Amino acid sequence: MHSEFYTAAQKDFVLVSLDFPQGEEAKAAVPNPKRNDELMAKYGVQGFPTVMIVNAQGDGLGQTGYKDMDPADYLADVIAMRDAGKMALVSVRELKAEFAAAEDKVAVAVRAASELAEMEMGTPTIGGFAAIVRQGIALTEDPAIQIALLKPAVAMTGATEDDKKRIAELDPSNEHGLMQLVVFSKMNTLESESDLADLVAMCEELHATGTVVGGEETRMLYVSCAFFCNEYLEDEDGAKTWAQRAVDLGGLDERMQEVVDGILNNPFEDDSDF
């Protein structure tokens, strides 16, 4: 860690590092793996590394990551995010109080889900709103309401193990796009080569539903599967298949097109750094 940042940051912050291992051997050594899922959902973590700013009570005040800034400017940015987060935290506390007092807690959760869906990534209130939404999911047996609540929660904070179980029951054919959100969540938390094979398998299952909705994330997903098969999994047929599927989706940007063209023309001699 850069000493200029580290020394100055300790005046205002307690610095803590948390590990979220992805390899099976490393996961087996984690004392409480479910706690990792809880923290990811609480703070809306969808990729690593993630820098979270939280208060002493564990309330999320902001989220950031690597930025091309010098240490002093980066610290100033974190401090500004913390101050804005303190103000945003008021709305979360008001929502929690309303939810606790409400007779119809599901209705409060539905409203929270609507607001959550409109938030930008990194908004300090994401974790607090998502927590209320997930509590609402547990309080209703109505599949339509559960689906409506799951969509923004998973889209904004990733899929927890409980989310995945519910989605497997509620949307096994991706008719509502929930299965697709789970795959996007997996894509955002890749760390090991075994994760790549798991992702490609999940994508194959998703593609087989015939209900995949196109878009920038989907195009990136398909191109990534082609690249992973080509560069890491030694799967020539898979690389060609995913590259062609990406082409069929259309709308590829120049970089994506370069990757798929390289694979389709000469699969195992492509040196692209995607």
Per-residue pLDDT in tens (0 to 9) along the chain, 274 residues = 567 777 777 888 888 877 776 666 666 777 777 777 777 777 767 667 788 888 888 877 777 877 888 888 888 888 888 888 788 788 888 999 999 999 999 999 999 999 999 988 777 788 889 999 999 999 999 999 999 999 999 999 889 889 999 999 999 999 999 999 999 988 887 877 788 999 999 999 999 999 998 899 999 999 999 999 999 999 999 999 999 999 999 999 999 999 999 999 974 554 555 5
| Domain identity same for 152 and 193 | no
| Domain identity same for 159 and 227 | no
Look at the block and give the residue holding tokens 């389709």: 264
| Domain identity same for 140 and 238 | no
Count of structural domains within the chain: 2
Q: Tell whether 175 is covered by a domain.
A: no
| Domain identity same for 69 and 150 | yes
| Domain identity same for 194 and 233 | yes
| Domain identity same for 107 and 141 | yes
Q: Tell whether 177 is covered by a domain.
A: no
CA-to-CA distance for 132 and 101, rounded, in angstroms?
A: 13
| Domain identity same for 234 and 109 | no
CA-closest candidate to residue 40, choices 30, 52, 31, 28: 52
Which SS3 state, helix, strand or coil, does residue 97 take?
helix
Kindly report the backbone phi and psi dihedral angles of residue 258, in degrees, each rounded to the nearest multiple of 5, phi listed first. -60, -40
Of 144, 170, 196, the domain-final residue: 170
Give CA angle at 43 (38, 45), nearest 5°.
90
CA-to-CA distance for 274 and 259, rounded, in angstroms?
A: 7
What is the secondary structure of 175-239 as a DSSP string? TTSHHHHHHHHHHTT--SHHHHHHHHHHHHHHHHTT-PPPSHHHHHHHHHHHHHHHHTS--HHHH
Q: Tell whether 176 is covered by a domain.
A: no
| Domain identity same for 122 and 255 | no
Which SS3 state, helix, strand or coil, does residue 64 take?
strand
- Give the structural domain span for 254: 186-269
**N- to C-terminal Cα separation, the chain:** 27
Q: Tell whether 132 is covered by a domain.
A: yes
